[in-house]
Amino acid sequence: MASVNRRVLPGFSLTLGYTTFYLSVLVLLPITACFIKAGSLSFNEFWSAVWTERARAAYLLTFGAAFVAALVNLVLGLLLAWVLVRYRFPGKKVVDSLVDLPLALPTAVGGLVYASLYVQKGWLGRYLVPLGIHGAYTRCGIVLVLIFVGLPFVVRTVQPILEDLDPESEEAAASLGGTRWQTFQHVILPTLYPALITGFALAFARGVGEYGSVVFISGNMPYKTEIAPILIVARLEEFAYGEATAIAVVLLIISFAMLLLINRLERWSMRHEH
């Protein structure tokens, strides 16, 4: 009896083996190489490369901007997904496809276009700059492009869940005297939590790693608008591979820790739901 295979479909060991191989070659190997390269530094060298005041300002900006952008995407992405699932309107297919466009566009192009729109002479900048809103070469600009590159993630994770949502539970809530807001808050939202958190995590991770668009809109001023990946490029420019990978390792560790945390949160919200 003990040897009975409880799985319906065969191929567990094959697929697991493939997954392990795939992850190793694509993810673990490069990351290990990164750690080994950074390991060529002594502790003092490592520390003085990654923990300067300037580097700390850059980490804070990188993670801070990615976090804010992911939060905005959380709200706007939910709204977009809601509109796309719940309503019918002309051009819906087009809007639906537009959502994925930021993934296809080379991000450097996105950054350049955003910057040229928001500079003083740009289409939007000429009206916004006199009002004191500087979209280009500020932290605000960085958040703006990160919202752009992270847009698809929340929409695409929430959309299928919304589509599968059972209208009966909403009707039940309404017939039990719940207001619309109560229905949304207590019936719809809880089922969406896991998808929202996943979307948030993806958008956040994307924002942390983003380089191409940010360098064109940030202005790269040390202590103010300089993101951590710029420090890596600066170090590579000096052919200081060890120091460059050291900064990358710090980014990796912080990102990994935050993603683990978000994962936990997602698990917790799923258990909480049932």
53 burial type by CB count under 10 A (0-12 exposed, 13-18 middle, 19+ buried): exposed
Q: What distance in Å separates the CA atoms of residue 94 and residue 109, rounded to the nearest whole number?
A: 21
Say how many CA atoms lie within 13 Å of 243 toward its Cβ: 21
Sites for another protein among residues 47-66 (CB under 8 A): 49, 52-54
Sites for another protein among residues 198-217 (CB under 8 A): 215-216
How many binding residues for another protein (CB under 8 A)?
A: 28
Q: Is 230 in the site for another protein (CB under 8 A)?
A: yes
Q: Is 265 in the site for another protein (CB under 8 A)?
A: no
Q: Is 234 in the site for another protein (CB under 8 A)?
A: yes
Q: Which is nearer to another protein, 178 or 209 (CB)?
A: 209
Q: What distance in Å separates the CA atoms of residue 6 and residue 115, rounded to the nearest whole number?
A: 57
Stretch of residues binding another protein (CB under 8 A), selected from 63-71, 154-162, 219-227, 260-268 = 219-227
Q: Is 191 in the site for another protein (CB under 8 A)?
A: no
Q: Is 228 in the site for another protein (CB under 8 A)?
A: no
Q: Is 264 in the site for another protein (CB under 8 A)?
A: no
The C-alpha angle 181, 187, 188, rounded to 5 degrees, equals: 80
Q: Which is nearer to another protein, 120 or 179 (CB)?
A: 120
Give least dist CB 45 to another protein, A: 11
Supply the DSSP symbol for 184: I
Q: What distance in Å separates the CA atoms of residue 100 and residue 107, rounded to the nearest whole number?
A: 13
Whether the CB-CB separation of 239 and 257 falls below 8 Å is answered with no
Give least dist CB 250 to another protein, A: 16
Q: What distance in Å separates the CA atoms of residue 169 and residue 151, rounded to the nearest whole number?
A: 29
Q: Is 88 in the site for another protein (CB under 8 A)?
A: no
Q: Is 44 in the site for another protein (CB under 8 A)?
A: no
Look up residue 120 and give its amino acid. Answer: Q
| Site string (103-122) toward another protein, x via CB under 8 A | ---------x--xx--xxxx
Q: Residues with Cβ < 8 Å from 233, sequence gap 6 or more?
A: 211, 244
Give least dist CB 22 to another protein, A: 25
Q: Which of residues 28, 233, 253, 270 is near another protein by CB under 8 A?
A: 233
Kind and range of the H or E element at 251?
helix 241-273
The C-alpha angle 56, 258, 25, rounded to 5 degrees, equals: 100
Q: Is 219 in the site for another protein (CB under 8 A)?
A: yes
Q: Which is nearer to another protein, 112 or 187 (CB)?
A: 112
Q: Which is nearer to another protein, 115 or 147 (CB)?
A: 115
Q: Which is nearer to another protein, 199 or 229 (CB)?
A: 229
Q: Residues with Cβ < 8 Å from 158, sequence gap 6 or more?
A: 77, 78, 81, 192, 195, 196, 199
Q: Which residues of the shown chain bind another protein in the complex (CB under 8 A)?
A: 49, 52-54, 112, 115-116, 119-122, 136-137, 215-216, 219-223, 230, 233-234, 236-239, 243
